Structure 1
Amino acid sequence: MATPALSVQLYTVREALAADLDGTLARLAGMGLADVEIFDFVDRAPLLAEELVASGLRARTGHASLLSAGLGLDDPALAGGRAAPPDQDTVFRAATAVGLQIVIDPFVAPDRWMTEHAVADTARRLNDAARRAADHGLRVGYHNHAQEFLSDIRGVSAYEFFAGELGDDVVLEVDLYWAATGGQDVPALLQRLGDRVAALHLKDGVTGPNPFRPGASRLDPTTLDQRPAGRGEIPLLAALAAAPSTAFGVIEFDHYPGDIFDGVQASVDFLRANGLR
């Protein structure tokens, strides 16, 4: 079985983080964690770098938008009033300041997974980002939800077609809960993806209908049945065994109905008991 470094995506504790950054990081460090995965770091990289060092934590992976340029979000007429995200070099400079190794794009909209042309174009854009990232000593990757599995292209899911279009220097972070929500046998998927899988989101729970399917209501995270590792239906240990090259095992909750730190601690305890370090 793979023994990746155990981490937690800070989005999991976003409310506590907003209220008390240093106290929240200290609490995670107190669980024996050495790694965290960061988000929304570009405008606060110096502060995050300082607080991570003070808490004894490191962030080697982080989420940031890399692909919105050219996908509509950079066009004010199409962006629905949203501000355009920072350019890639700005993202990569911030990532370097925090000490990241891999910058992971966390979301590409469902309509971009419905045609071969759109999927191939997204892969090309990520390949271009990888070449720019290399100038900063960084790698890039992609984190899935469930929309990537809504359509098939050339006999495979759009996600696997996408993976086949990526350059060798681009990695994948596979969210097991969302892949299962997309109808995937996750250990089999990981075996097919092979060494490209650099990180797993070890997210457990009970899956429901794919909330990204055409015609579905806007996703309400409070409707998701996500549970501490080992307490749901996602085959986490089989997935780890199927992805021996995985370097990071990341705990994440999109929503948790109880005390979020209890959920994280329970996940840490389960994963530590099963060999993660």
Structure 2
Amino acid sequence: MALPAASVQLYSLAKEFTADPQGSLDRLAAIGLKNVEAFDFVRRPAEIRSALDASGLVSPTGHAPLLTDELWTPDGSIPTPAPEVVFEAAAAIGIQTVIDPFVAPERWLTEEGVADIAERLNSAAEKAATFGLNVGYHNHAQEFVASFGDHTAYERFVSLTDERVQLELDLFWALTGGQDVPALVSRLGDRLTAVHVKDGIVPASNPWAPGAEAFGSDSLDQRHAGTGEVPLAAALRAGSAIQYAVIEYDRAPGDVFADIEASLGFLREGGFVA
């Protein structure tokens, strides 16, 4: 398998990027990154494309909601446009794969709910293809609360989606969901084309389980890659078709650019990225 390319999810530096898109991308380029993963790009595709071009970066993947009317984040919700609007913006930026980043916990608790999510994403894949794009899904931990037979809701979802639907596994959140992360990476096989490289001390219990207390990103203890509890090295080695190793912090422990550089160092020194 060819080594993945390093990338960074721009949600990690949402405040910095909103305040100074060009300066933020220039700093990422100076660190040595060539790829980013866009977030909240639909309302400003021309601005983002211009800043990417000026910094010499590209955004092969991007996060945008395809399966909900409103995208939840730990720090607020964002209204969602029609899929066609999302795909038009993605194509303008040069994004190749649009990844849905979050589907509400209650929709993962029943087989009918999981089937509906899969059906909607399969439909989105059909529409995306007319724009020359792919779609994917990024997990948190709610996908691992319920099980049907011997399979978690997440793996049932995978079995119901078209093979062209790509998977981006957030390794931190999969561990929070109680998964043997390297084993899950191995089972996902060639469907897994990207991972979120994120480390830290995982929450003591799944924050999206029924009855769990509400939480925000400020409560998370996230750390530089290789310094927390997530078996990042084993997970990366278990992949068979990972194209992008995407650095992300829901809550950066210090200066976000220094934190990103530290995680990039882990990926490079371990020989996990090209």
Q: Which residue pairs with 2:10 in the alignment? A: 10
CA separation in 1, counterparts of 2:85 and 2:179?
Answer: 35
Q: Which residue pairs with 1:78 in the alignment? A: none
CA separation in 1, counterparts of 2:22 and 2:122?
Answer: 36
Q: Is the 8 A contact 2:137 2:167 kept in 1?
A: yes
CA separation in 1, counterparts of 2:251 and 2:2?
Answer: 27
SS at match of 2:213: coil
Q: Is the 8 A contact 1:2 1:241 kept in 2?
A: no
1:154 is displaced (CA, Å) by 2.6
CA separation in 2, counterparts of 1:253 and 1:19?
Answer: 18
Does residue 224 of the first structure (1) align with residue 244 of the second (2)?
no
Q: Which residue pairs with 1:139 in the alignment? A: 134
CA separation in 1, counterparts of 2:135 and 2:170?
Answer: 16
Q: Is the 8 A contact 2:253 2:259 kept in 1?
A: no
Q: Which residue pairs with 2:21 in the alignment? A: 21
Q: What is the one-letter code of the residue matched to 1:173? A: E
Aligned residues: 267
Equivalent residues in 2 for 1:99-110, closer than 5 Å: 99-110=94-105
Q: Is the 8 A contact 1:2 1:240 kept in 2?
A: no
CA separation in 1, counterparts of 2:136 and 2:79?
Answer: 21
Q: Which residue pairs with 2:242 in the alignment? A: 246
Q: Is the 8 A contact 1:148 1:158 kept in 2?
A: yes
Q: 2:198 aligned to 196, 203, 207, which one?
A: 203
Q: Which residue pairs with 1:212 in the alignment? A: 208
Task: Calculate the TM-score normalised by the size of structure 2.
Answer: 0.95
Does residue 88 of the first structure (1) align with residue 83 of the second (2)?
yes
SS at match of 2:227: coil
Q: Percent identity among equivalent residues? A: 53
Does residue 170 of the first structure (1) align with residue 165 of the second (2)?
yes
Unaligned 5+ segments in structure 1 are 75-81
Q: 1:189 aligned to 184, 191, 194, which one?
A: 184
Q: Per-residue CA shift, 1:32-56, capped at 9, x if unaligned?
A: 1000000100110011001000001
Does residue 233 of the first structure (1) align with residue 236 of the second (2)?
no
CA separation in 1, counterparts of 2:26 and 2:214?
Answer: 35
Q: What is the one-letter code of the residue matched to 1:172? A: L
Q: Is the 8 A contact 1:2 1:243 kept in 2?
A: no
SS at match of 1:42: coil
